[in-house]
Amino acid sequence: MKTKIYYILAAFVLMMSTSCKDYLMEESKTDIDKNKYMNNAAEAENVLLGVYRNMVTDEIYGFNLSILFTMGTDISQVEGSTNENFRIIPTNSFSPNQAEIQASYAKLYNSVYNATDFIESIETKMVNYTDADKRLATIYIAEAKALRGLYYFELLRRYGHIALVTNTAMSSQPPTTFVQEDPAKVYEFIEQDLQYAVDNLPYAVDDTYRVNKSFRLSKGSALGLLAKVYATWAGSPVKDISKWEKAAKTAQILVESNKHGLLDSYEQLWKNSGAGLWNSTESLIEVSFYSPTATNGSLDPIGRIGKWNGVKATTTVDRGSNAANVKVVHTFVLDWRNYPEDLRRDISVANYQYSPTKTLYAKGATESEQVGQANDADPTKKQKEKQNYTPGKWDTEKYVPQSNKLINNDKSNINWYVLRYADVLLIYAEALNEWKQGPTTDAYTAINMVRRRGYGLPVGTASALADVPAGLDVTAFRDAVHKERAFELAFEGDRKLDLIRWGVYYETVKSTSIKLGTWWTIAGTPNYAVATPGYTTKGKHDLFPIPQREMDLATQFKQNYLW
């Protein structure tokens, strides 16, 4: 399906290309050509695949939204102790002119435009389709609306105060006429798009309509994403707590459908993503990266997964070098050591590198210490080397087979999970607790299913070892969910956004700095540049700035708080 999605569209991708007079004014170059195309469902599907394609770019999940924008939390940080070069964004020391901040903003709006353009075009064309093609066209519209909802969601939760562009005709407006919409109104538009997708997409296991359905959005994708949208809407900065009920009820539909579930093995998730394999059981939204040669430059659907956020490796190993610029915050490791039976710990955190063979950072540690990653709390065990621990989920030597051999020393074919069923289960537990102001039986069931799988136990069987203690009040259960999201979804791009919607991002950065200082016993201070005075500021870094270029053009815009 990777070949279907990313190579058949090569001939059609120019149909969805755009020039950019202004980020909000994406204008198609080839309207005349498109009028001659999309005359049946097969042609429309080829154009739809172009709407998916922006997901693989560096500006979206190829790098920025998956890796670069996600560091600077209590679980991950950028390599080094300065804010130079690529470190400026993870250390929160950038300005509204920062190129990557502008590029992702523009690419997300470009993606919104492409989705809207497709929807408008196919709605015009499908009146002449056969009945069978009309059914497919409805599914394709639902996919495009779900994609548009996703792209707007990424814009809204990062930039906060954005313009709502609902049709392609708006591209004719002068930049000075655009205004920022109330975030609640943008959420409502996202809700409408995703609800349409819920109503018109089949579950992946029931899909007898689309011949090629791997890595395509489904009813489960839309339900899971909508539940997450509601949970974010309920949190900071909008804080519409009435949406907790909707988050719970939407997640409940997905859970009770029994159309998705958890894989038996947590590690299998990373074997699948490393091998480029799609399994719709747990994968709700997944970005597929694949190119056998990487000779087509920007047209190649390849990302940096495993290269930047994987295990450090030199060119002497089978899969090429990995920069491994994402580092694990060591107090997170120490916290996880309090749960030694949790199998996810040593899958998620790597205390080794490949140079040229697998070697421990903590030189002198025994083999048993390597297997169990023991004694991390012991300050005599090379504290500086412990700051080089990296995420282990995208271990290129361990999880990438020869059949999916990596492209080069910078790019890879490893897939990226945007949304997993486990995430939805935790949203369900959280939403029930917040809505009911205390955990329900279903809330306990949802979180405990995730924890049991993490401990290698049957998800449907109670476990004194893995289960959250009974009888928790709303605050204690909330804390349990917050911790569980850190463990289950470690380094998958959720933590910073979670801390922001919980309203504790700044406080968490500061407290993490204090904890690291307490752990650190040698001269100097541990590397944690995001806490450098003058970098992370309370309230300011809950949102990115509106890019300065946009501020200069859209003169009615107001900049985000403190920017």
Angle at 317 between CA 311 and CA 321, to 5 degrees: 55
**For 361-390, what is each residue's pLDDT tens digit?**
765 444 444 444 445 656 556 888 899 999
Q: For residue 315, count CB atoms less than 10 angstroms from its CB and return exposed for 0-12, middle for 13-18, buried for 19 or more.
A: exposed
**Which is higher by pLDDT, 334 or 7?**
334
End-to-end C-alpha distance for the chain, whole angstroms: 43
Residue type (1 letter), 561: Y
Looking at every residue in the chain, the average pLDDT score rounds to 90
**Which is higher by pLDDT, 28 or 147?**
147
**For 85-104, what is each residue's pLDDT tens digit?**
999 999 999 999 999 999 99
pLDDT at 19 over 50: no
What is the DSSP track for 126-163?
GGGS-HHHHHHHHHHHHHHHHHHHHHHHHHHHHH-S--
Residues 6+ positions from 386 with CB-CB distance below 8 Å? 330, 333, 351, 361, 362, 376
Closest CA to 42 of 146, 140, 121: 140
Kindly state the percentage of the chain with pLDDT values over 70.
89
Residues 6+ positions from 335 with CB-CB distance below 8 Å? none
What is the average pLDDT across 148-152? 98
Q: What are phi and psi of 139, to 5 degrees?
A: -65, -40
Angle at 447 between CA 441 and CA 448, to 5 degrees: 85
What is the reported pLDDT for 249? 98
Closest CA to 276 of 417, 416, 415: 415
Q: For residue 523, count CB atoms less than 10 angstroms from its CB and return exposed for 0-12, middle for 13-18, buried for 19 or more.
A: exposed
What is the reported pLDDT for 292? 75
pLDDT at 187 over 80: yes
- Cα–Cα distance for residue pair 91/241, rounded to 1 Å: 31
Residues in the chain: 563
pLDDT band at residue 21 under the 50/70/90 scheme: very low
What is the average pLDDT across 325-340? 96
What is the reported pLDDT for 34? 63
pLDDT at 419 over 70: yes
What is the average pLDDT across 122-149? 98
What is the reported pLDDT for 236? 98
Q: How far is CA 200 from CA 3, 146, 223, in A?
A: 26, 11, 12
Kindly state the percentage of the chain with pLDDT values over 90.
81
Least confident among 283-297, 304-318, 491-505: 283-297
Which two three-digit tokens encode residue 132?
Answer: 């069978």
- Cα–Cα distance for residue pair 449/462, rounded to 1 Å: 9
What's CA 473's distance to the chain center, in Å?
30
pLDDT band at residue 158 under the 50/70/90 scheme: very high
Q: How far is CA 308 from CA 272, 326, 381, 537, in A?
A: 19, 6, 26, 26
What's CA 9's distance to the chain center, in Å?
24
Beta bridge partners of 303: 412
What is the reported pLDDT for 294? 65
Which two three-digit tokens encode residue 234?
Answer: 């309920």
What is the average pLDDT across 45-72? 97
What is the average pLDDT across 152-177? 96
**Which is higher by pLDDT, 16 or 399?**
399
pTM (two decimals): 0.93
What is the reported pLDDT for 234? 98
pLDDT at 224 over 50: yes
pLDDT band at residue 360 under the 50/70/90 scheme: confident
- Cα–Cα distance for residue pair 79/517, rounded to 1 Å: 18
For 260, the 3-state DSSP assignment is coil
pLDDT at 407 over 70: yes
For helices 243-257 and 219-234, give the axis angle rounded to 10 degrees: 160
* Radius of gyration for the alpha carbons in the chain, expressed in angstroms and rounded: 23
Closest CA to 237 of 292, 297, 316, 159: 159
Which two three-digit tokens encode residue 251?
Answer: 């997640």
Peptide bond preceding 547 in cis form (omega within 30 of 0):
no
Q: Hey, what's the torsion of the CAs at 133, 135, 137, 142, to 10 degrees?
A: -170
pLDDT band at residue 23 under the 50/70/90 scheme: low
What's CA 104's distance to the chain center, in Å?
14
Residue type (1 letter), 363: K
Q: How far is CA 484 from CA 22, 336, 373, 376, 492, in A?
A: 42, 11, 20, 21, 13
pLDDT band at residue 300 under the 50/70/90 scheme: confident
**For 342-358, what is each residue's pLDDT tens digit?**
999 999 999 999 987 77
pLDDT at 29 over 90: no
pLDDT band at residue 315 under the 50/70/90 scheme: confident
Q: Are 347 and 371 in contact (CB under 8 A)?
A: no
| CB-CB neighbours of 226 under 10 Å | 27
Q: For the chain, which residues make up each domain, given as ranges? A: 298-414
Q: Are 86 and 80 in contact (CB under 8 A)?
A: no
- Cα–Cα distance for residue pair 500/232, rounded to 1 Å: 9
What is the average pLDDT across 483-503? 98
**For 526-543, what is each residue's pLDDT tens digit?**
999 999 999 999 999 999
